[in-house]
Amino acid sequence: MGALTTFQSIAIVAAAIAFAAMLAAAALHRLEWRTAFAWSALWALAALTILKPSITVAIAHFLGIGRGADLVFYCGILGMLFGFFVIYIRIKRLESEITRLVRALAIRDAEEGRDVASR
């Protein structure tokens, strides 16, 4: 493997901290174990490809992509798009829950005869 480059040294420390942080969060009940494991696995994978970039090159070639860095880039974009989509759906759901709550309050107030003009 040889000596680590500056980038590798910094990135590996960052990945290790992120890896540990996920597990610590789960241990402190800030995160579900399932979620923590998924994130930890992702950081472990990141650490592996930082230490041995030749892995991504091999996979990239297998898929017909020229460079390993391009493969990582494509995966990153896809992952982000998926993330946006999930968040969008969650916001939609949250909005419809707010609507149901606002509706229930409006109907309850009217049925209990609370005076609208005074509010």
Partner 1 sequence: MADWVVVPAYNEATVIASVIADLRRYADHIVVVDDCSADDTASAAHSAGATVLRHSINRGQGAAIQTGLEFALRRGADTIVTFDADGQHDAADLPVLLAPIRERRADIVLGSRFTGQSNVPQLRRWLLRGAVVFTRLTSGLRVTDAHNGLRAFSRRGAEAIHIRLDRMAHASEIMDLIHSSGLPYTEVPVRVRYTDYTRRKGQRGMHAIRVAFDYLFGRWVR
Question: CA–CA separation, 38 vs 34, rounded Å?
Answer: 6
Nearer to partner 1, 3 or 116 (CB): 116
Minimum CB distance to partner 1, residue 74 (Å): 25
Nearer to partner 1, 1 or 117 (CB): 117
Minimum CB distance to partner 1, residue 79 (Å): 20
For 31, residues 6+ apart whose C-beta sits below 8 A from its C-beta are 22, 25
Q: Nearest 5°: CA angle at 103, between 100 and 107?
A: 140
Spatial contact of 58 and 64, defined as CB atoms under 8 Å apart: no
Nearer to partner 1, 73 or 88 (CB): 88
List residues binding partner 1 (CB under 8 A): 89, 92, 95-96, 98-99, 102-103, 105-107, 109-111, 115-117, 119
Radius of gyration of the chain (CA): 24
Minimum CB distance to partner 1, residue 117 (Å): 4
